Amino acid sequence: METTEKKKIDFKEFILNNALIIIILALIVGIIIVDPSFITNPRNIINILSQTATRLFIALGTGGLLILAGTDLSAGRIVGFTAAIAGALLQSSDFPQKFFPNIQGANIIFGLLAAIVIGAICGALNGFGVAYLKLHAFIASLGVQLAIFGILQLFIAANPYGPQPIGGFDEKYANLVRGGFKIPGTDLMFPYLIIYAAIASVIMWFIWNKTVLGKNMFAVGGNPEAAEVSGINVTKTIMVVFIISGIMYGLSGFLEGPRLGSVTTTTGEGYDLDAIEACLIGGVSFSGGIGTIPGIVLGSIILQVINYGLLYIGLNSYVQIIIKGILIILTVALDTRKRIKKK
């Protein structure tokens, strides 16, 4: 009798602990049942990985902040702003409505550095608010988000030809992002974007697992008081992690403009929540101190599979937003439950 009751309790615990995985699998299986070509068409897999690539940069940056038990609501706006800056600097010479008409020729390195530097500055502003002003990351990043959004609107409105999307990118810049190499024996292209995302993931894995900064980051996220007592410079660690996150957003912005074809004031909107959701699905704890780069990569891919799949079967976009909202609530609730259980 006791054994049967124990089995029931164990089964209940199993369902609760794995509810997120069960729901995600149910969603994916449901998509495949509605349209089996979703999984059988290799082009869909390429598209999913390609669309995951730029979002993965954001998740890799946000993941470090979640490890610190923080968050970032400004990521999407920073991506949009850096995309606008890089895009304006790298428009084609013969584009009739150039943002900077006096700039002749596109210097891709300069555009890339501009996106990285601006992203790093935005990240530093967030870090300063958290590390020095002792603001909660939610409040600090919310303030930066609003400020960056305002600056982005002013920037696009400053176009000498009037407010309009920034497009007409230089061919080399566009090919660098949208290009790829042909997969032998098929008519498919393997996008460069996937390679860039893979390189970024390896670099971030090295930082997280093989450097002093990575060890300090996990220590601060797990217990900031104990980390400070052990001699770790908590303020410096927070600042550096925020700056790295800003750099990742800048890289995403540099790639996002050509991927979309143009940049507007809405570019990057909602990307921050997607990044947080991808990290949580990938096992990063909202309470800090727990998470892995492979988990973030997997979480980003899973989230994009769901997004792409729901769009593929023609589900209403509003329903997609509802599903994503439920997933966020569920991931945080399960993470909180596990943390309470450990105590």
Q: What is the pLDDT of residues 209-220, one digit of tens each?
A: 999 999 999 999
Residue-wise pLDDT for 154-198, tens only, equals 999 998 888 899 999 999 999 999 999 998 888 899 999 999 999
Cα 169 to chain centroid distance, Å, stands at 23
- Where does 42-342 sit in CATH, by number? 1.10.3470
pLDDT at 291 over 60: yes
Which pLDDT tens digit goes with each residue over 268-279?
999 999 999 999
Domain extents for the chain? 42-342
Across the range 127-132, mean pLDDT stands at 97
Q: Which residue has the tokens 């606008």?
A: 84
pLDDT in tens, 313-340: 988 888 888 888 888 888 888 777 776 7
Q: In this structure, which amino acid lies at residue 240?
A: V
Residue 189, φ and ψ in degrees, nearest 5: -110, 135
Apex CA 175: angle with CA 78 and CA 198, to 5°? 60
The 10 Å Cβ neighbour count of residue 270 is 11
Beta strands in 124-240 (DSSP E): 180-182, 189-191
Please report the pLDDT score of residue 197 as a whole number. Answer: 97
What kind and span of H or E run contains 333?
helix 317-342
